[in-house]
């Protein structure tokens, strides 16, 4: 029998998408051994999102290693005023018993498993003060604020002067992202401003109908290649981020990085990470939104130094410091 010790990675990194691995190359540059797949041993497991949390906990339980659970946000419309189901992890499987009475508003079993993972993780990390407050209030779990990053390698200013035109909005096509406000605002300019939306989701039909009713030229695109997304930011006159809720808020960061004027909704995460660089507007006040867009169109490019704390390098430094106690 081969009794040689099995190799052990520093971190088993669970990520639902490429974005959630942005800091991994920088951490490897620091000498950390990080596995993105497989079931090999690791000193610590990191779950970088809700989609991978259950698998990451099962891995940590199986290998008896500590787990760090990164919680991006707790959408209030999904939890509502309900409570979690009772969940156990038994013999490698999740067992749940539905709560008697009011449960979470949407996908109660899924969010109950997330809560179970958070309660049993060694640490819960969050990107923002707003998410930290939500997790403490709804799940009774203490958090550590460890902001992530935008893709600072990809989103940069155009190399030369470019022609800019129209309004751009980038995010999922859901009611909470509030794209309709951009179309309504575009209709109040003379001439009406063209709108480009990059994203996919259930609101596409409603947004197309609204644009037709208001006579706004509106293009909605999904599956746009990465390079074309950067070009879209660089050639927009103004990027509008009208979301009603964000745990972190990537779109305005990407726009500022591309030196494009930005208008954002006045919500906690936008205030926390962007300071006074964007033009803010009050939700559900179209007149203020129109005024903010007008100011952004006539104003200078945004100051990019506000993003110094959310670059890939800055986030990698935070993650390295947070992981270090588990790797000694």
For residues 203 and 276, membership in a common domain is answered with: yes
For residues 67 and 176, membership in a common domain is answered with: no
For residues 96 and 197, membership in a common domain is answered with: no
Number of domains comprising the chain: 2
Name the strand (E) or helix (H) holding 186. Answer: helix 179-186
For residues 287 and 319, membership in a common domain is answered with: no
For residues 125 and 24, membership in a common domain is answered with: yes
For 146-156, b where at least 16 C-beta lie within 10 A, e where not — what string?
bbbbbbbeebe
The closest alpha carbon to 196, from 169, 172, 173, 176, belongs to: 169
For residues 140 and 204, membership in a common domain is answered with: no
Read out DSSP for 105-163? SS-HHHHHHHHHHHHHSSEEEESSHHHHHHHHHHH----EE------TTT----SS---
For residues 303 and 319, membership in a common domain is answered with: no
The closest alpha carbon to 237, from 147, 289, 180, 298, belongs to: 298
For residues 121 and 188, membership in a common domain is answered with: no
For residues 242 and 208, membership in a common domain is answered with: yes
For residues 25 and 141, membership in a common domain is answered with: yes
> Is 2 inside any structural domain?
no
For residues 300 and 200, membership in a common domain is answered with: yes
Place of tokens 């130094």: 305
Place of tokens 């726009």: 255
> Is 55 inside any structural domain?
yes
Measured from the Cβ of residue 214, the count of other Cβ atoms closer than 10 Å reads 15
> Is 129 inside any structural domain?
yes
How confident is the model at residue 238, as a pLDDT? Answer: 98
> Is 62 inside any structural domain?
yes
Three-state SS for 72? coil
How confident is the model at residue 7, as a pLDDT? Answer: 64
State which residues form the domain around 323.
9-149+312-327
> Which pTM value belongs to this model?
0.94
How confident is the model at residue 1, as a pLDDT? Answer: 43
Which parts of the chain have pLDDT scores under 50? 1-4
122 beta partners: none
Residue 94 belongs to domain with CATH number:
3.40.50.2000
How confident is the model at residue 278, as a pLDDT? Answer: 97
> Is 316 inside any structural domain?
yes
Q: Rounded to whole angstroms, what are the CA distances from 75 to 111, 145, 147, 246? A: 10, 18, 18, 8
> Is 157 inside any structural domain?
no
For residues 141 and 21, membership in a common domain is answered with: yes
CA R_g for the chain: 22
């Amino acid at each position: 029998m081969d009794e040689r010790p099995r190799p052990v990675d520093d971190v088993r990194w669970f990520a639902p998408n490429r974005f959630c691995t942005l800091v991994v190359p920088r951490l490897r540059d620091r000498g950390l051994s990080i596995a993105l797949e497989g079931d090999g041993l690791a000193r610590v497991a990191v779950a970088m999102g809700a989609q991978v949390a259950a698998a990451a906990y099962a891995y940590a339980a199986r290998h008896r290693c500590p787990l760090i659970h990164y919680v991006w946000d707790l959408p209030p419309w999904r939890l509502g005023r309900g409570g979690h189901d009772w969940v156990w992890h038994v013999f490698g499987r999740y067992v749940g018993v539905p709560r008697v009475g009011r449960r979470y508003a949407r996908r109660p079993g899924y969010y109950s498993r997330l809560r179970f993972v958070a309660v049993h993780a060694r640490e819960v990390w969050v990107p923002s003060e707003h998410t930290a407050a939500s997790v403490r209030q709804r799940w009774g779990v203490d958090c550590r604020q460890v902001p992530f990053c935008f893709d600072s390698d990809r989103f940069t200013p155009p190399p030369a002067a470019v022609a800019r035109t129209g309004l751009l909005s980038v995010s999922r096509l859901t009611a909470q992202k509030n794209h309709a406000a951009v179309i309504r605002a575009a209709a109040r300019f003379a001439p009406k401003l063209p709108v480009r939306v990059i994203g996919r989701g259930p609101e596409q039909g409603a947004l197309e109908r609204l644009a037709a009713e208001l006579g706004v030229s509106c293009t909605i695109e999904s599956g746009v290649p990465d390079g074309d997304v950067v070009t879209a930011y660089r050639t927009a006159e103004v990027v509008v981020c009208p979301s009603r809720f964000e745990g972190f808020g990537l779109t305005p960061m990407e726009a500022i990085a591309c030196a494009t004027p930005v208008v954002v909704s006045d919500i906690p995460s936008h205030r926390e990470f962007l300071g006074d660089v964007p033009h803010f507007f009050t939700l559900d006040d179209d007149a203020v939104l129109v005024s903010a867009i007008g100011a952004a169109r006539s104003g200078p490019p945004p100051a990019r130094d506000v993003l110094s704390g959310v670059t890939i390098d800055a986030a990698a430094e935070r993650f390295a410091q947070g992981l270090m106690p588990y790797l000694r």
